[in-house]
Amino acid sequence: MKKWKVLIEKSKHFLLVTLLIIFTFCYAMFQGGFVSWFVFFTVSPFLLYAFIFLLVREEILLVEREIEPSHIESGQSAKVTITVERKTRFPFAYMMMEELVNSESLVQSKVQGANAVMFVGFKKKFSWSYLLENMPRGEHRYLGVTIVFSDFFGWAKKSVSAKKEQVILIYPRVREMKYAALQTKFDAGSMMSPYSIVKDTSMAVGLREYVPGDRFSWIHWKSFAKTQTLQSKEFEDRQSQELMLVLNAKKSPLFEEKVELVASILQTIVDERGDISFVSAGAKTKVFPLIQGNKQLDQVMHHLAAIKSTENIKFQLRDQRAFKHVATMLYVTSEVSDELLHTLATMVKSCICFVVAEQSPIQTDLSKRYKQIQVVHVNPLDYYHLFTEVMKP
């Protein structure tokens, strides 16, 4: 039964055109007269075109999709240009192209203008563009394209699909923040430093890739003479503690705001030549140790673009060997509880807990007891002065 349905579906247009040719010819033969033959000769070119249309076998040889700009942040727009090359030069009357997607956001944008009806004449290669507006953060996937060919009156139609998978990555929005150095502790006493980790430049322990902003005296000129690649000296840290940023990926109404805050903090610290590590605490713990340059930052931003919220958080700092000596943690969450404060107090010696919420969290007796934990309320709409607010006594 299914085979018959498929066969009927494929041949219904051919049967329709054939019957129209037979009916118009029979009408002219039996009716006679000028009017009937005029109708026959008027309709015949369109019927002949539809008949040849059904006999032509069309294929899609090439599908290319270009997205501009290449780096898109949440809330921004992107221009998508898709180029298609077909097999024949047969002039189809109408051609409707449609993107195949599996993203709800792309489905909505597809309704707004990602479908196009056009006449390309004898062209084998053609393109069309549309605009994606106000795209949300995430990983959106294109599956391919479907082209529906039609004659002048819709008597004959055929559909051709081509696979062309492509992922469009929408990064979290990075907001500008006024940078102020966080307090760092040295071997004896404490002081303010413009770097998250101050280095002892009297002893070089290795080489690393040059990062714009490194001091002129840090460049290793001998390796540059051999490899023609700039490398900077790596110095021993004067402190045994690291600054680490942790994102609590638990599901919440302000999850997107938490991701934007984390992205903004990382971008600001890296731009100021600071060293920071990042941990994404979700269903699985993802660790990015020592983010020093744009390459490491791009990896983190790629992760933040695709990250999804989860109900269960599995994260224990003591299980991460790379952070045994972490004493300063920046913990980003949307809610604070006594259980969370107790857990953070057992993990590190010092912690700044950023709570992204519309209203300031209520300080409990336990939060007052843990002096090493500083709870800071973050306005989800404005955190330009967040660093300076943290450093206030």
Residue 81 has pLDDT above 70, yes or no: yes
Helix (H) or strand (E) holding 181: none
pLDDT for the residue numbered 243: 77
Question: Quick one: pLDDT at residue 150?
Answer: 81
Is the CB of residue 176 less than 8 Å from the CB of residue 78?
A: no
> 212 vs 166, which has greater pLDDT?
166
Mean pLDDT of the chain: 77
Q: Predicted confidence band at 102 (pLDDT cuts at 50, 70, 90)? A: confident
Q: Report the DSSP pairing between strands 231-237 and 199-209.
A: antiparallel
Based on the fold, state whether residues 188 and 305 are members of the same structural domain: yes
Task: For residue 283, count other CB atoms closer than 10 A to its CB.
Answer: 12
- pLDDT tier at 194, thresholds 50, 70, 90: very low
What token pair was written down for 187?
């071997």
pLDDT at 188 over 50: no
Do the Cβ atoms of 169 and 306 come closer than 8 Å? Answer: yes
Calculate the alpha carbon distances from 303 to 169, 206, 213, 264 in Å.
10, 29, 25, 14
If asked whether residues 278 and 154 sit together in one domain, one would say no
Tell me which residue range forms the domain holding 42. Answer: 2-55
Q: Average of pLDDT values for 237-242?
A: 48
What residues are paired with 378 via a beta bridge? 356
Amino acid at 73: E
Please indicate, yes or no, whether residues 159 and 16 belong to a single structural domain of this protein.
Answer: no
Report yes or no on 162 lying in a domain.
yes
Percent of the chain with pLDDT over 90: 4
Judge contact between 149 and 158, C-beta under 8 A: yes
Q: Please say if the pLDDT value at position 111 is more than 50.
A: no
Q: What pLDDT score was predicted for residue 241?
A: 44
Select, from the ranges 260-264, 348-352, 375-379, the one with the highest average predicted confidence (pLDDT).
Answer: 260-264
Res. 317: pLDDT tops 60: no
Q: What confidence tens digit (pLDDT) does each residue in 265-309 have? A: 999 888 887 778 888 888 788 888 778 778 888 999 999 998 888
**Each residue's pLDDT tens digit, 113-146:** 556 667 777 888 888 888 888 888 888 888 888 8
Q: What would the pLDDT profile of 46-80 be if each residue is shown by its tens digit?
A: 888 888 888 888 888 888 888 888 888 888 888 88
176 in a structural domain: no
In this structure, are 259 and 350 located in the same domain? yes
Residue 301 or residue 103, greater confidence? 301
Q: Strand, helix or coil at 173?
A: coil
Both 242 and 383 in one domain: the answer is yes
CATH of the domain at 286: 3.40.50.410
Q: How far apart are CA 254 and CA 10, in angstroms?
A: 50
393 preceded by cis ω (within 30°)? no
Residue 107 confidence class, pLDDT cut points 50, 70, 90? low
| Adjacent-strand bridge partners of 120 | none
| Least reliable range by pLDDT among 5-19, 332-346, 366-380 | 5-19
Domain count, the chain: 4
Q: How far apart are CA 52 and CA 59, in angstroms?
A: 16
Residue type at 199 in one-letter notation: K
Within 10 angstroms of residue 321's Cβ, the number of other Cβ atoms is: 7
